[in-house]
Amino acid sequence: MSYAIGIDLGGTNIKYGLVDRMGTILFESVRPTYLPGLPGKGQPGVFDNLIDVIMEVREYAVSKGVRPEGIGIGAPGIVDGGLVTACAANLPELEGMALGSRVEELLGMPVWVENDANLMGLAEWKFGAARNSKDVIFLTIGTGIGGAMVINGELYGGHRNRGAELGHMIVALDGLPCGCGGKGCLEAHASVKALIEDYKRCLLECEKGQKYKSGQEFENGHKEDKAITGNWIIARYLEDQPAAVMAMNRHFDYLEAGIAGLINIFSPQRLIIGGGISEAGDVYIDQIRRRAMGRAMKETSQYTIIEAAQLGNKAGFLGAAALVFNSMP
């Protein structure tokens, strides 16, 4: 059996594990991306922390008599010619770094690096909801919106791996500003962050002049502002709370437009929805499925199945391990 070290390198946490070719996890853990500094030594850098993570997994593998074939790393940025770019907002230390080559040179193991959202999609294709499919679209809905495409059995990233930015398709021509520098992106209108902000605006509309301040209790003292989550809003939506219904309907409207467009262009066998909000229950995926399939062309959507992702927050490091197995001769 072949084994690989998979690492999901995020701006807040590093999730990592030892995985076999069938997707079985032999070991997994998580640690903060930025560890507290030691007295007199300062805070360790992201790269040093990454090396410590790999050494931890290697030591575990040795203790079990297992030899990993390689290391896969998912990074929040564009990986073009081995260089990690467009990650300055999350991991500025890695901007412009030949991350794979540096790790490989230091540890003497083959290393592959890919965009983290691409690897989440790869994991669902290899081990999760899209197994045995050749054409797959993966959309993860969280603080932002990421995506991945598998076309004819191959992970597709566009020219020089700079495509598959599915969260940045335009769904509102004169829409809200997006973190990418554009306006009207799907991410700006349908991410969980956007949903929460829209819900706050809807509260103002519904409460007709009742002031809503950050940290102030609302809705009969249920929660505070800082505790609002996408899943919390869905719970209010299921109770027919007016502000939640307004916000969720707008959220679904934008996802309907974006997903129907993806179906019309790619006609995937599977369209997988991931992210924490996708785990809120069947109602969320059911609404997306009903709306998007009703909007897409019948001819392009005839063989498409929309369903929730299966791997949760393990998808990142599982996809990184799958990258190793896909890349090995």
* Residue-wise pLDDT tens digits, 145-195: 999 999 999 999 999 988 899 999 999 998 999 988 899 999 999 999 999
Distance CA 34, CA 11 (A): 8
Lowest mean pLDDT among 126-140, 237-251, 275-289, 301-315: 275-289
Average pLDDT over residues 83-91: 84
Q: What is the pLDDT of residue 64?
A: 95
| Fold: same for 3-122+314-327 and 132-309 | yes
Average pLDDT over residues 236-240: 94
Distance CA 104, CA 5 (A): 13
Confidence of residue 44 (pLDDT cuts 50, 70, 90): low
Q: What is the pLDDT of residue 208?
A: 59
Q: What is the pLDDT of residue 11?
A: 84
Question: Is residue 270 predicted with pLDDT exceeding 70?
Answer: yes
Average pLDDT over residues 260-282: 93
pTM score of the predicted model? 0.86
Average pLDDT over residues 95-122: 94
Percentages (nearest 5) of helix, strand, coil residues in the chain: 45, 20, 35
Distance CA 248, CA 234 (A): 7
Residue 142 in contact with residue 191, Cβ under 8 Å? yes
Supply the mean pLDDT for the chain. Answer: 89
Lowest mean pLDDT among 42-51, 156-165, 301-310: 42-51
- DSSP state string for 72-83: EEEESSEEETTE
Residue 319 DSSP code: H
Question: Is residue 211 predicted with pLDDT exceeding 70?
Answer: no
Domain boundary assignment for the chain = 3-122+314-327, 132-309
Question: Among residues 121, 127, 168, which one has the least CA distance to residue 149?
Answer: 121
Distance CA 235, CA 253 (A): 19
Q: What is the pLDDT of residue 301?
A: 97
> What class, spelled out in words, does domain 132-309 have in CATH?
alpha beta
- Percent of the chain scored above 90 by pLDDT? 74
Q: Which CATH superfamily is domain 3-122+314-327 in?
A: ATPase, nucleotide binding domain (3.30.420.40)
Rounded alpha-carbon distances, angstroms, from residue 271 to 28, 154, 234, 255, 304? 27, 15, 22, 13, 7
Average pLDDT over residues 264-269: 97
Task: For the chain, report the end-to-end CA distance as a whole number of angstroms.
Answer: 15
